[in-house]
Amino acid sequence: MQLFIKACIFVLGFLFCSTVIYAEKADEPNNPPQKILEDINQAIRLEPDKAELYRYRGVAHKKLGQYNHALIDFSRAIQLSPNDAASYKYRGETYSKLGQFVRAIRDFNRALDLGLANA
């Protein structure tokens, strides 16, 4: 029984560390967005309720010009973490790219309300 518990702890630790590594790759400026998408998709499969993973994937979609996919991911991140100012900022930027300026301003204002200084 103790061996089983130790094995479970090891697996959970591995999954957590893997998710952190995938998330950190999204912030590397020289990492191609398509590779980031692959890595983050894997991380989302491991932890589907982690808001920042959707935000990272949204950023990758935005870099690739896939604005509708980016909006879906930023909205999911906001749904999972309603006080995540960065997700509102990125969603606002995406709305702006699509010419949806009223929605963009609303998201930028929400980001500012949540304490993001440079929205």
Please list, in sequence order, all residues whose beta carbon lies within 8 angstroms of the beta carbon of residue 90, skipping any fewer than 6 positions away.
Answer: 55, 58, 59, 62, 70, 74
Per-residue model confidence (pLDDT) at position 34: 81
Lowest mean pLDDT among 7-11, 31-35, 81-85, 105-109: 7-11
CB-CB contact of 44 with 36 (8 Å): no
pLDDT in tens, 6-63: 444 444 454 444 445 544 555 556 677 788 899 999 999 999 999 999 999 999 999 9
Asked whether residue 100 carries a pLDDT value surpassing 80, the answer given is yes
Domain ranges of the chain: 2-113
Per-residue model confidence (pLDDT) at position 35: 86
Cα separations (Å) of 104 from 56, 74, 76?
19, 13, 16
Per-residue model confidence (pLDDT) at position 1: 52
Span 2-113: which CATH code? 1.25.40.10
pLDDT, mean of residues 70-81: 98
